[in-house]
Structure 1
Amino acid sequence: MKRCTESFTIWRNGAPVAFTVGQLVDDKHPILKSHKHLFDDPAPSGPSAPPAMRARPAEQATADPGQARTLTPPAQTASQEAKGGEFDPSEHTGPEVIEYLKTADEDERARVLAAEKASKGRTTVLGADLPKA
């Protein structure tokens, strides 16, 4: 097997044939006669592979029937988890704080805006036009 290292398209018998990065082809595939330079041996993925290339277990994408899936909010950082999970506006850029406030409920907005006023007091955050909670 060979793995394509660069996407490209060729014309065969009047029709386009596309090859994409990562696509595997058999060692005897006719494309290797003319475009061998665009293919390489597949990277090892077993226990003998370098740690960065080893296969990792897939994340479970959905909950089992009747089970609620817990999600980590994207704005939550490791330092926030250590503090109990509260969003701290002083640890974020102004645009990040505004994005967080757009999805926060009224009580959370009030808490975050008070924390912003007490710490950095950025007018871009304090005067942001936010939708009704």
Structure 2
Amino acid sequence: MKRCTESFTIWPDGAPVAFVAGQLVDDKHPILKTHKHLFAEPQASAGQPPRGQLRPTEQATADPGERRALTPPGSATGAQAAESDKAFDPGEHNAPEVLTYLKQADEEERARVLAAEAAGRNRKGILGDATE
């Protein structure tokens, strides 16, 4: 992979093709034959994956008959996935946090959290408000 060092546009066959600073292209991309001086090896920095884990930009549309694999916005990875998979435990939160969570929870989740609260800390401020 190569990273574009500065933005530029070329006009092959009369149609503009833009390259944006920071954009990744494959090592075999034809633009490297004519504009190699505008590309460099990607450098990993804070918040970026190491060189071996770089991925090209997702294709905006699928070719006719092709299906795209989508990555949902905000999908969790690694430690975030483990944290998001962990069920809400009312015993780890204060009463206002639990009540806020219960307001946005669906009926099944609400019943689960209330049962956990009753079996755990059994706070009247939470269980009393649950019947309203």
Q: By the TM > 0.5 criterion, same fold?
A: no
Say which structure is richer in helix: 2
Q: TM (normalized to structure 1)?
A: 0.40
Q: TM (normalized to structure 2)?
A: 0.40
